[in-house]
Structure 1
């Protein structure tokens, strides 16, 4: 079954993006109807994060999220097989000069990259611009794992580390000139996490961003990918490096990260990765959410 799905992705990647995007949105809406457990997770997350919306508005937002997610799944075939010229047309990078200037100055860089649905497309496109390091979580499905790994490493000399490789390997890679494509906004459990607000909810958040920035002497550069409507492709926005980061207060730095992330999510809430059980780990004494 997995190989059949990969074959379908290969066939679909030949379609114009305007057609493929519509097929992906329809696929996502089917997932909304039939994948009930994940639909429930999304609706719980939206209820916690957007209490100001009505139930009908949150359900409409959930449908838009599944449509965007469906697009991202089927368009992943572009990241795996599309040629360089096509990828450059489909994914525009804004602020690349900022990243290149930091690299030229010998400054280690952390690209703070939240879990928006266009994450893999942006990562593949960015890998065409040089050698990067990222932390890769192996997938249980070996077939999909192989192709996800291929999509993230097909251009240049990418370094994919496992979380078990530890901080030292990541810092060494950054100091050698590889920017870190860093995704710290999932629930990784209680270990190495502190509870700080995210949309007003106390949320288990790893403190890796300020700690890595301090250890590597790295600049933190926001890296946000936006999926454009109507098959318009993607835009990867590389923002100005954060001033005064990290500070001497790890908790304040982690709060700053979540506050920034919340602000970006509010600009395109349908594209954030709401199918993840972001609030699974709770402070002691609090009941389970999911």
Structure 2
């Protein structure tokens, strides 16, 4: 089955982006209707994070999220198969010169990359300009695992690390002037996490970002990939390096990261990865949410 999926993505990647977007949105809305467990997760997350919205508004937001998730699935074929010139046309990078200057100055950089739906194409586009280091989670399906790794490594000289080998190797790569494409905003359980608010709800939040920054002498540069409507493509927004980071406490640093993430999510709420059970790990004594 996975080989059929890969073949379909290869066929679809030849189509104009506007056509792929329409197909992807249709797929996403179909998944909204048939994958009830994930729809329930999305609606639960939206209820917790946007209590000010009505039930109808949250359902509309959930439908839009699934439509964009369908787009991201179909358009992943571009990350796997499209030539570099087409990737550069479809994905614009704002702040590329700033990042290049940091690298030229020998400054280690962590690209703080939250789980927005466009991050795969954003990462592929950055790989066309920069030799980076990133962490990946091995997929159960070996065919999908192969193509995910292929898509992330086919341009330049990329370093992809498993989670169990990430700390020392990532720091060494950063000190060798490779930007670290880092995704720290998932619930990976209580180990190495602290509980801080995310949209007002206590969430197990990885505390590794300040640790990486301190050990690597790195600055944190926000890296947000935004999906544009229809065939307009994507834009990678590289923000200014954070100042006074790490701070005085791990909890304070985690709060700062979550507050930044909330601010960006509010600019495009349908594009965040709401299908993830962000609040599955609860503080001691609290009931399960999902």
Q: Give the alignment's TM-score, normalised by structure 1.
A: 0.99
Give, in angstroms, the shift of residue 203 of structure 1: 0.3
Alpha-carbon distance in structure 1 between the residues aligned to 2:125 and 2:146: 18
Could you say which residue in structure 1 is the equivalent of 2:279?
279
RMSD between superposed Cα atoms in Å: 0.6
> 2:12·2:20 contact (CA, 8 Å) conserved in 1?
yes
The answer as to 2:33 corresponding to 1:57 is no
Alignment of 1:182 with 2:182, yes or no, is yes
Matches within 5 A, 1:33-52: 33-52=33-52
Give runs of ≥4 in structure 1 deviating > 3 Å. Answer: none
Cα distance in 1, alignment partners of residues 249 and 130 from structure 2: 33
Looking at structure 2, the residues matched to 121 and 130 of structure 1 have their Cα atoms a distance apart, in angstroms, of 14
C-alpha distance after superposition, 1:223-265 (max 9, x if no partner): 0000001221000000100111111211111100000000000
Partner of 2:252: 252
Q: Structure 1: 5+ residue runs without aligned partners?
A: none
Name the SS of the counterpart of 2:230 in structure 1. helix
Matched residue, 2:87: 87
1:130 deviates by 2.0
Structure-to-structure mapping, 1:134-153, within 5 angstroms = 134-153=134-153
Instruction: Indicate yes or no: 2:106 matched with 1:106.
Output: yes
Hey, what's the Cα distance between the residues in 2 that align with 1:229 and 1:21? 8
Q: Distance in 1 between matches of 2:85 and 2:128?
A: 11
TM-score by length of 2: 0.99
Note the residue ranges of structure 2 that are not aligned, 5 or more in a row. none
1:4-43 mapped onto 2 (5 Å cutoff): 4-43=4-43
In structure 1, what is the Cα distance between the partners aligned to 2:256 and 2:248?
Answer: 13
